[in-house]
């Protein structure tokens, strides 16, 4: 189905308490801040959040964290928000830390029908503890599982009215991967343009990955 | 059988298979009878065609003077580009397929088993050096609609208790459309949901070695092209 | 290093007999025909060729096959050239047949530092014979290894003078994946444009994957 | 130590690390001292900078009035775009890193072992909830150049027989540059290739618990900023 248009508030009706959510962005760049703010305003809770960072103190996903709605965080660099460390030490959230390349590859695998893959990254380190390791051609690799989500909240630059997406500079980051790896993809865009106006060679996310468009 | 008769049967199957699609579906059409499906999509439906060599929003065959050898479908036939099209590499294209992002595929068959196994790429005793994208398509698409003649050209059955040809995938077929009937598959069971008015259940069973149940709401459909 | 410019003939000096070569294209679309023709004119031989097809009779890689220079072919659909079947039955070439999605994923893995991955495709079929199978969450998957090559011969539409590439319609196909998966990448392009003239958001192959540019 | 002295030492290390790069290299610069390396690349060299959040051909910091919050490097600092730049998603960016397509990375360290192990992301007994891209970078880059002070701020050794902090990667370091010396690593062995003229080999050994060999062609280098 081509994407449908909703307001940020309406889009929240597709999310359930207990969902696994992916949220795009690196630092605060490429984070769908309007969608995150709309989510904070709901009374939905108990989320597993898959995101590179959990915002910064009181910003972006930091708000969701501070209102106690994140049960588990899966990502690579929570150091940008010391509140994550505090919540973790108080036993308020579970944390799963992955090397960033493993995180990306697991997102892509989740969207690509690949249940698991081997990576050299983290072999022989603490982050591979408890994970299956295997030698190919004399080198050690770690078996990593795909990441999938019920809903992804992502940020793109422009969409056409079918839902094809293009991004803006380094705000692209994890967003195209998350669009692939979730059952439902909600996209905050700067602008919606008529179909036929984006260059077909330059579309990064084909519209089949996109369900809901929200203008930010 | 005359060629004209054969063409009528193929179109009859394609017309019925098209009814299995839903408005808005993202669809990949395989080679053979499935390529005809595009002619029978209801005009008020928006169907979005994907081709595994790297494109979404495939348009109809171009006029001979606007053929572009670098704008082709997976059957290497010239196609055109609809507004809202996108191009991607084959890796992304198969992420789409294997990752479950196609709503449906319509695909041909050499054999289908009562469990929903499909054989479509190889014949025992013949060297077959081509498999292409069929296996990924069938494993990945949300609904696998097989569109095929009920029997082989030689009049042998294709719908069997189990496939005797090498498999394309196990238990992935959801719907089977032939010129005589429509079957649904669920949890390894095959169920007749529609039969052509031109034949009896006994006649159908006689040409269908596979074991199947009959849906309580069995439809009898007029398939004039298939009367023989 | 940014890409260097060579003629097709000069570019062949980077290839050795016995090399594993990747060659782009689906059918004859996106095949670097000028490079393949230049290769046919050398006296290099004994290649393992990784390519979706081996051309058509007497065209593209079909010429290399007919002059007896292909030792092994790895691909998905050799049916487009009956000469492959003949050579195979005469014991003149080895053939490794992969489902097309597995082929693509193995190319991407080869370029991405992933030695092996699991795929649902071909599980329970003849093409998985002899391969390790494993169950995740109740479904069977096949372990597949990455594909890598010494040299890839690919076709792109435009390059800038650093070697950034864009492609043309469905001629893109396997080319960007092969550029990633080989030690040396030789690209046949329609046109070379000054750096700064391609849209940075629309570059498909960043120049770090490209070694040699040949205008076709 | 004064802040000015510390800054001089950091720049001294960055200047020497820059000499390890080769014209045309594709390079990723890690956070800390490595970000200073860009200031010391010979002007006739073309170095192509990659940042793991998805860009090649990273340009220098923009003037304050042309900062774009969506054009940042992996340290979340504003950057600019050089002609010939390209953007890609994080998946492609880490394919580049892990796939061996970077010629070199310059990266900081908490500890380096004599076997070439690197510890750079965590400290025992402290909750560390960030690893980022360091592990992929070190595993994937063709040459791993560690640029670090020889001792910790508290004067404790960082170059050890084996790392006591959690590892970033095992035996991946190729070159180690400090304010006092340059070491090469090969097959689990550490070799001193350059020593500052401001200290003796005995003085160096006293602050370097790691066991290392001395290259027969050992260079003595002037490092005026590091004299103390």
CATH number at residue C181: 3.40.1080.10
Sign of the C-alpha dihedral, residues C96, C100, C101, C107? positive
Instruction: Check if the beta carbon of residue A90 is closer than 8 Å to that of residue A66.
Output: no
CB nearest to B96's CB, from A195, A200, A208 = A208
Q: Return the residue in D48, D50, D57, D139 with the most chain C beta carbons within 10 A, the one to mutate for interface testing.
A: D57
Q: Give residue C193's pLDDT.
A: 98
∠B106-B111-B112 over CA atoms, to 5°? 70
| Per-residue pLDDT, B125 | 84
Q: Residue A205 is inside which H or E element, if any?
A: none
C26, part of any domain: yes
Residue C154: CB partners within 8 Å, gap ≥ 6?
A: C22, C23, C24, C32, C175, C178, C179, C185, C186, C187, C188
Asked whether residue C138 is domain-assigned, the answer is no
The torsion of the CA quartet A92, A94, A100, A104, rounded to 10 degrees, works out to: -120
Q: Does A27 touch chain D (CB under 8 A)?
A: yes
Q: Scanning every residue of chain B, which has its alpha carbon at the shortest distance from the alpha carbon of A203?
A: B86
pTM score: 0.97
The model's pLDDT over B79-133, given as tens digits with 9 standing for 90+, comes to 999 999 999 999 999 999 999 999 999 999 999 999 999 999 999 988 889 999 9
Alpha-carbon distance A122 to A135, whole Å?
A: 13
Over 80: is that where the pLDDT of D224 sits?
A: no
Give the C window 140-199 contacts with D, CB below 8 Å: 160-162, 164, 180, 195-196, 198
Tell me what pLDDT residue B225 has. 55
pLDDT at B1: 55
pLDDT in tens, C185-202: 999 999 999 999 999 999
Domain count, chain C: 1
- Cα angle B77, B80, B86 (rounded to 5 degrees) comes to 110
pLDDT at residue A199, as a whole number: 98
Candidates A108, A110, A113, A204, partner chain B, best to mutate (most B CBs within 10 A): A113
How do residues D188-217 score in pLDDT, each as one tens digit? 999 999 999 999 999 999 999 999 999 999
Instruction: Please give the Cα distance from D105 to D142 (Å, whole number).
Output: 8
State the average pLDDT over residues B207-228: 86
**The pairing of beta strand C212-215 with beta strand C4-5:** parallel
Residues of B that are catalytic = 52
Instruction: Report which of residues A216 and B73 the model is more confident about.
Output: B73
> Which chain D residues are within 8 Å of A95, Cβ to Cβ?
129
Structural domain includes residue C18: yes
Those residues with Cβ within 8 angstroms of residue B194's Cβ, 6 or more apart along the chain or in another chain? B181, B182, B218, B219, B220, B221
Q: For residue B86, with 0-12 CB atoms within 10 Å meaning exposed, 13-18 middle and 19 or more buried, which class applies?
A: buried
Question: How does residue D223 score in pLDDT terms, banded at 50, 70 and 90?
Answer: confident
Domain assignment of residue A74, given as a range = 4-115+148-215
How would you label A122-141 residue by residue, b for 16+ Cβ within 10 Å and e otherwise? bbebbbbeeeeeeeeeeeeb
For B143-195, how does the pLDDT look when each residue is reduced to its tens digit (9 = 90+)?
Answer: 999 999 999 999 999 999 999 999 999 999 999 999 999 999 999 999 999 99
pLDDT of residue B228: 46
Query: Which position has the token pair 């991004």?
Result: A167
Q: Which of residues 114-143 of B touch A (CB under 8 A)?
A: 139-140
Over chain C (216 residues), what is each successive 10-residue block's mean pLDDT? Answer: 93 98 96 98 98 95 97 96 96 97 98 98 96 97 98 98 98 98 98 97 98 94
A143 domain-assigned: no
Q: Does residue B68 sit at the A interface (CB-CB below 8 Å)? A: no
Name every residue whose Cβ is closer than 8 Å to that of residue B38 and which is 6 or more positions away in sequence.
B29, B47, B49, B60
Residue A125 lies in a domain: no
Interface of A with D in 83-122 (CB under 8 A): 84-85, 88-89, 95, 97-102, 104-105, 107-108, 119-122
Using alpha carbons, select from C118, C29, C21, C115 the residue that is nearest to residue C72. C21
Whether residue C142 lies inside any domain: the answer is: no
**Enzyme catalytic residues of D:** 52
Examine the pLDDT at D105 and tell me if it is beyond 50. yes
Kindly state the tokens that stand for B224.
Answer: 């004039």
Positions in chain A whose pLDDT score sits under 50: none
Listed in order, strand segments (DSSP E) in C149-181 are 149-160, 165-166
R_g (Cα) of chain C, nearest Å:
17
Q: Does residue C178 form part of some domain?
A: yes
For chain C, the distance separating the N- and C-terminal CA atoms, rounded to the nearest angstrom, is 22
Please give the pLDDT value at position A150: 98
Instruction: Name the average pLDDT for chain B.
Output: 94
Whether residue C45 lies inside any domain: the answer is yes
pLDDT of amino acid D1: 55
State residue A187's pLDDT score: 98
Q: Which two tokens stand for residue B65?
A: 């003077």
* Contact yes or no for A113 and C136 at CB 8 A: no
């Amino acid at each position: 189905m081509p994407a449908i248009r909703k307001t940020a508030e309406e889009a929240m009706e597709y999310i359930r308490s207990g969902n696994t959510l992916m949220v795009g962005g690196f630092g605060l760049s490429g984070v769908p801040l309007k969608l995150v703010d709309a989510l904070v305003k709901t009374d939905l809770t108990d989320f597993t959040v898959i995101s590179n960072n959990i915002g910064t103190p009181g910003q972006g996903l930091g708000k969701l964290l501070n209102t106690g709605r994140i049960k588990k965080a899966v990502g690579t660099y929570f150091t940008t928000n010391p509140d994550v460390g505090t919540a973790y030490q108080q036993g308020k959230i579970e944390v799963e830390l992955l090397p960033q390349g493993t995180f990306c590859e697991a997102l892509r695998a989740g969207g690509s029908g690949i249940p698991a893959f081997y990576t050299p990254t983290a072999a022989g380190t603490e982050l591979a503890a408890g994970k299956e390791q295997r030698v190919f051609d004399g080198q050690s690799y770690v078996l990593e599982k795909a990441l999938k989500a019920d809903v992804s909240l992502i940020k793109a630059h422009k969409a056409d009215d079918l839902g094809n997406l293009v991004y803006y500079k380094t705000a692209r980051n994890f967003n195209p991967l998350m669009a692939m790896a979730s059952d439902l993809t909600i996209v905050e865009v700067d602008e919606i343009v008529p179909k036929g106006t984006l260059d077909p060679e330059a579309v990064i996310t084909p519209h089949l990955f996109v369900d809901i468009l929200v203008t930010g | 059988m005359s060629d004209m008769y054969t063409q009528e049967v193929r179109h009859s199957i394609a017309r019925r298979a098209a009814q299995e699609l839903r408005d808005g579906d993202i669809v990949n059409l395989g080679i053979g009878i499935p390529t005809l499906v595009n002619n029978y999509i209801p005009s008020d439906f928006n169907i979005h065609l994907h081709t595994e060599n790297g494109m979404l929003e495939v348009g109809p065959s171009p006029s001979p003077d606007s053929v572009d050898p670098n704008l082709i479908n997976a059957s290497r036939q010239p196609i055109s580009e609809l507004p809202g099209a996108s191009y991607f590499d084959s890796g992304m294209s198969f992420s789409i397929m294997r990752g479950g992002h196609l709503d449906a595929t319509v695909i041909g068959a050499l054999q289908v088993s009562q469990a929903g196994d499909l054989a479509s790429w190889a014949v025992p005793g013949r060297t077959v050096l081509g498999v292409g994208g069929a296996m990924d398509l069938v494993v990945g698409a949300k609904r696998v609609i097989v569109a095929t003649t009920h029997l082989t050209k030689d009049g042998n059955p294709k719908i069997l208790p189990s496939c005797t040809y090498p498999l394309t995938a196990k238990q992935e077929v959801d719907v089977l459309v032939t010129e005589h009937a429509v079957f649904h598959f669920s949890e390894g069971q095959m169920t007749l949901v529609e039969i052509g008015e031109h034949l009896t259940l006994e006649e159908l069973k006689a040409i269908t070695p596979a074991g199947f149940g009959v849906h309580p709401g069995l439809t009898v459909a007029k398939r004039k092209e298939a009367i023989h």
